[in-house]
Amino acid sequence: MIRKLTAVTMIASLTACSLAPKYVRPAAPVPQSWPVGDTYLRTSEATLPTVRYQDIFRDPRLQALIVQALANNRDLRVAAANIAAARGQFRIQRAELFPEVDASAGATFRGGQGATGAKSSFDANVGINAFEVDLFGRIRSESDRALNSYFATEAAARATRLTLIGDIADSWLTYASDKSLLKIAQDTAASAQISVDLTQKRLNGGIAPRTDLRQAQLTLDTARADVAQQTTSLAQDVNALQLLIGAPVDPANLPNSIDEAGATLAELPAGLDSSILLRRPDVVDAEYQLRAANAEIGAARAALFPKISLTGLVGFVSNALGSLFTGGAFNWQAGGAAAYPIFRAGAGKANVDVTKAQRDAALATYEKTIQTAFREVADALARRGTMTAQLTATRDLEAAAADNYKLSEMRYRGGIDSYLDSLIAQRSYYSAQQTLINAQLIRASNLVTLYRALGGDSLAEATKGGPKAPGSQVGNP
């Protein structure tokens, strides 16, 4: 019996040839280095470090929110469930490479005339249920497809994680910006209230016209409306963070101003070699989808060849329970079958053509994903290269507007200038403050965008199962 079982197992372990085209990674359809020029300054000359989100987002309050989100966010839970499902599908598909062994046992009792008329029969069987010998690699190609689909699902989950971290950082910075805008609106409203009170006194004393009072009230009402708007925006920012985190937001983890929040973000330089994009989760996802489509071609080709199935059965049959497993009660049987479709009106070849077309579509998707990633990084670098100059100019503008407003206010109170000059100066200062806050938000958000575009934490992770260097083209059959 042992020899016969060994023979069946050896047949089952035949190594299949693969009819799938040999896979080599396509060349990245983008330049090998980032754009250079005055717009990009020296940003493109820096080397790319291995980073974690903690290296870029250094504020402990922001890190605490990210940790909380990674534990609670529902999108990540969906991604984890998808990974588990993909892993299960791969195991199911891989199991077809091995024979399915079933066991059964039974007993039969029959009655008859007299004391010797009763009869009993016992049997126990172990059998292989129609195992397909994978001579042409169909099952192995399907297994490779399932494996690469599983890896693609893992990459998609990393992309979800990267998006979540970036969204939290953006929302946190937006809250900081709105908090700063609320502060300057409140300060402007307070200053405008003082101007209104002063102008009212001057009007009562017959020094100022009524138009000065109405102009002062316009500035006050505008600032009060901005206070109400920014208060609403802060509440909405908290709601957005709460949705991302999946739990209530601790007020202690919220920033007090964009100045404070922006200063906690570290620089993230870009690397010379654009092949770094091959580490981005969305690019990894697209490549594994391409690999899965490539493996599907092998499965479709193998389906054109005969399917060879084996069945085997070993067991014991006895009329006496006590002698059921004796050598004389042993019996076995084995068989094989081959099936080949003679006429399918070209359906088999058409299926191969379908898989080739799907592979070509996956290749185009992969190349477009890389091109999109390159553009996102290049756009972020272009913004980064000019952001320092813009922020410096905006700070100078805000300082000049503040000084001009101070001088205009003094001249008005001294009776030298009209209130209109002071009013214009005050509005210019208010606008300059808002512009500076917006520039600070853009600068901070640009760091988040660059972190996303370069793949974030995935830069520190090796691509599981992936090739180590770019190739030339996907192999044609």
Residue 409 lies in a domain: yes
Round the CA-based radius of gyration of the chain to a whole number and report it.
37
83 CB-near residues (< 8 Å, 6+ apart): 150, 153, 154, 157
Amino acid at 120: S
Residue 319 lies in a domain: no
- 99-122: buried (b, 16+ CB within 10 Å) or exposed (e) per residue? beeeeeeeeeeeeeeeeeeeeeeb
Classify residue 57 by its DSSP letter.
B
CA atoms lying within 13 Å on the CB side of residue 258:
27
Q: Number of H helices and number of E strands within the chain?
A: 10, 4
Q: Tally the domains of the chain.
A: 1
Residue 155 lies in a domain: yes
Tokens of 296: 């599907």
Q: What SS3 class is residue 273? A: strand
pTM above 0.75, yes or no: no
Report in angstroms the alpha-carbon separations of 155 from 8, 36, 150, 246, 414.
40, 31, 9, 22, 68
CB 253, CB 237: distance < 8 Å: no
CATH number of residue 246's parent domain: 1.20.1600.10
Chain centroid to Cα 74, Å, comes to 13
Residue 218 lies in a domain: yes
Q: What SS3 class is residue 315? A: strand
Q: How far apart are CA 304 and CA 299, in angstroms?
A: 9
Q: Which residue has the tokens 């009106």?
A: 345
Which uninterrupted H or E stretch holds 110?
Answer: strand 101-110
Residue 126 lies in a domain: no
CB 401, CB 432: distance < 8 Å: yes
- State the 10-residue block means of pLDDT for the chain, 477 residues long: 48 54 62 48 40 85 91 75 71 63 70 62 65 59 71 78 88 95 93 85 78 85 93 94 90 94 79 63 82 73 59 60 62 59 67 77 82 82 84 93 89 77 87 93 89 68 37 37
Tokens of 61: 């309050």
Calculate the dihedral angle through the C-alpha atoms of 226, 227, 228, 232, rounding to the nearest 10 degrees: 100
Residue 229 lies in a domain: yes
Count of CB atoms situated within 10 Å of the CB of 292:
21
Domain that holds residue 242: 2-97+134-305+340-460
Q: Which of 97, 475, 149, 140 is nearest to 301 (CA)?
A: 140
Residue 106 lies in a domain: no
**Structure confidence at residue 63 (pLDDT):** 93
Residue 327 lies in a domain: no
**Structure confidence at residue 440 (pLDDT):** 93
Q: How far apart are CA 4 and CA 362, in angstroms?
A: 46
Rounded (to 5) percent helix, strand, coil in the chain: 65, 10, 25
Q: What is the secondary structure of 112-167 as a DSSP string?
A: -SSTT--EEEEEEEEEEEEEEE-TTSHHHHHHHHHHHHHHHHHHHHHHHHHHHHHH
